[in-house]
Structure 1
Amino acid sequence: MASAAKTGRVVVAEEHSVYGGLGSAVAEVLARTNPTPVEFVGMRDQFGKSGEFEELLDYFNLGSRAIVEAVKKVMAR
C-alpha cells in the first residue's frame, strides 16, 4: 500500500495464472483503498509445461524482460 501510494503504479509478477491469482487480490485491495494503475505478469490462459525453471520463465513470459515491459506499460498510463 505504501509503495502504491508513493509511486502511483503497481506491477504484480507471479508464477501463477493472472486470472484469480495474487494480482487479482492486489487489484481488489487497491480498488477499495487507493485506485492505482496495475499491470500483471503471470501465466495467461494456457496449459503448463515441464522444463528447466529459467526456460519456463521465458516460455511463459514471466522473466525479467516481461517485468520490465510491464513496468514501462504501467508507467505510460
Structure 2
Amino acid sequence: EAAGRLEKNGIGVRVLDMHTIKPIDRGAILEAASETGRIMTVEEHNIIGGLGSAVAEVLVDCKRVPFLRHGVKDEFVLIGPPAGLYAHYRLDAPGIVQEAHELMEKVG
C-alpha cells in the first residue's frame, strides 16, 4: 500500500521481500542500491539487530547510498490493537510514505 502511494506521488519504489536475514541476499541489496540510489528498510519490530542492521552492514562493506532503517526504536513498546500500534510507530502506509518523503528530502 505504501509503495502505491509513493508511486502516485511521483516517487519510484522497488520493494524487496527479504525473507531471511541469514544468509542475507547481498546481491539483491547491492542491485537495489545501484538502481535506486537509496535504501529504506521497514520492519515491524525493534530496529536493533534486525533487517536494517544487516542491510547497513552490506552497504557499509560494499557501497554507500543514503539509507534509513524504519521500525520500532530501541524502547519499551506499547501494547494494543495492531492497527493502532502500526499508526503510533508510523509502520502503517501513511507513516512509511512520510518517512520515505523525509529520506528523499535529505538527499535531494
Output the amino acid matched with 1:20.
G
Task: Answer 1 or 2: higher relative contact order, Cα 8 Å, separation at least 6.
Answer: 1
Output the amino acid matched with 1:56.
L
Per-residue deviation, 1:71 = 1.4
Match for residue 35 of structure 2?
Answer: 6
Task: Point out where structure 1 has 5 or more consecutive residues left out of the alignment.
Answer: none
Distance across 2 between alignment mates of 1:65 and 1:42: 14
Task: Point out where structure 2 has 5 or more consecutive residues left out of the alignment.
Answer: 1-29
Distance across 1 between alignment mates of 2:88 and 2:97: 16
Does 2:83 align with 1:50?
no
Q: How many residues align?
A: 77
The answer (yes or no) to whether the contact 1:13–1:23 under 8 Å persists in 2 is yes
> When the two structures are superposed, what TM-score results if normalisation uses the length of structure 1?
0.85
If you compute each CA radius of gyration, which structure gives the higher value, 1 or 2? 2
Give the ranges of 4+ consecutive aligned residues of structure 1 lying more than 4 Å apart after TM superposition.
Answer: none
- Residue identity (%): 36
The answer (yes or no) to whether the contact 1:8–1:36 under 8 Å persists in 2 is yes
Q: Which has the higher strand share?
A: 1
The answer (yes or no) to whether the contact 1:11–1:71 under 8 Å persists in 2 is yes
Match for residue 40 of structure 1?
Answer: 69
Distance across 2 between alignment mates of 1:66 and 1:33: 29
Output the amino acid matched with 2:93.
S
RMSD over aligned Cα atoms: 1.4
